[in-house]
Amino acid sequence: MRAIPIVLLFLVSACASTTSPEKLKGMSTAEVCYLGMVEPESRQMVDSELQARKANCNDYAAEIAKIQDQERRAGMTPGDAAAPKPASSGMGRY
């Protein structure tokens, strides 16, 4: 059951690089809102889709937070690659 959100998240990420209005129509509103947050170049397309749905992203804040947390846990957020890694404490060394 836990794999379903991860697979969904992977599909959202895969769609992120080649976003089209048709792909947005197949996404949940929370996913569309999240895509608008992480992909500024798709913002105009996202705004158009949200207007067509008559949706407000503020109504989906909890779902968006779940998506953010899942991506963070999966290491898929853009900032994670540059984040410093914790120092290893191997054999008592500092």
Half-sphere CA count of 45, side-chain side, radius 13 A: 17
Arithmetic mean of pLDDT, 59-72: 94
The CA-based angle 66-71-74, given to 5 degrees, is: 125
**Residues 19 and 45 sit within 8 Å (Cβ to Cβ):** yes
> Helical H runs in 1-94?
3-17, 21-25, 29-38, 43-53, 61-74
Arithmetic mean of pLDDT, 39-47: 93
Q: What does pLDDT average to over the chain?
A: 78
* Element of type H or E holding 42: none
Residue 5 has pLDDT above 80, yes or no: no
